[in-house]
Amino acid sequence: MLEKGLKLPVMEEFYSLQGEGFHTGEAAYFVRVGGCDVGCHWCDIKESWNADLHPPISTDGIIERAATYPAKAVIITGGEPLNYNLDYLCNQMKSKGIKTFLETSGSLPMSGSWDWICLSPKQNIHPTDSNLKLAGELKVIISELSDFEWAEINAAKVSEACLLYLQPEWSKRNEMMPAIIDYIMQNPTWRISLQSHKYMRIP
């Protein structure tokens, strides 16, 4: 059932506001799957890395719970969601009029059908070129000055319609914010993304 996407190892589900990127401030139902092979040292959800800690649950149950909320939008995040077959989840969501949004590092083969893909590339396991072309937004985490070069490497591979975001790594936000602001002022194709949900103290 896991291979067919009829079950998924979900760490948590919750209804909240999107805190980052293009859809900041919009209400959505979040589904955080367990399992991640990227393992960023600054990840603030390390509990999601080990899929064995999150037994698979019914995908139909996820869909039913999501459909009970006013905002007909579901954000699939992780962990790394593309570890799993997301075709069934997306097809069923769309049949209920629910929009599907993906947050991914883009390092694994794509599955599912998406209204929006936020791709956040990681240097230890690079995203595929094909996934970069599918991204609606490219969100690069800036934790040191060399990350600006990494951001431009990936920006050169996305579609012309893709929105470009630089986001300070939370623990270094005070240190990196001035550099990001200056960089965007000099390179206005980029926008800034802040983890506003942390300032609001919501999930």
Convert the pLDDT of each residue in 53-105 to its tens digit: 899 999 999 999 999 999 999 999 999 999 999 999 999 999 999 999 999 99
Burial 132-162, CB ≥16 within 10 A → b, else e: bebbbbbbbbbbeeebbebbeebbebbeeeb
Q: Return the percentage of the chain with pLDDT > 90, whole number.
A: 90
Residue range(s) defining the domain that contains residue 147: 7-200
| Phi-psi region at 25: left, alpha or beta (left = phi > 0; alpha = psi -120 to 50) | left
Cα-based torsion angle of the residue sequence 43, 167, 194, 66 in order, rounded to the nearest 10 degrees: -60
Of the listed ranges 13-27, 32-46, 127-141, the least confidently predicted one is 32-46
Residue 142, domain member (yes or no): yes
CATH number reported for the structural domain that contains residue 71 in this entry:
3.20.20.70
Number of independent structural domains in the chain: 1
Summarize the confidence of residues 143-170 as an average pLDDT: 98
Residue 169, domain member (yes or no): yes
Strand 57-58 with 7-8, pairing: antiparallel
Residue 2, domain member (yes or no): no
Residue 141, domain member (yes or no): yes
Whether the Cβ atoms of residue 130 and residue 110 lie closer than 8 Å to each other? yes
Which residue would you say has higher pLDDT here, 167 or 50?
167
Residue 193, domain member (yes or no): yes
pLDDT per position as a tens digit, 185-194: 999 999 999 9
pLDDT per position as a tens digit, 40-64: 777 877 788 888 889 999 999 999 9
Residue 1, domain member (yes or no): no
Query: What is residue 168's predicted lDDT score, i.e. its pLDDT?
Result: 98
Q: How far is CA 162 from the centre of its chain?
A: 15
**How many Å apart are CA 5 and CA 16, to the nearest integer?**
24
Within 13 Å of residue 81, how many CA atoms lie on the same side as its CB? Answer: 28
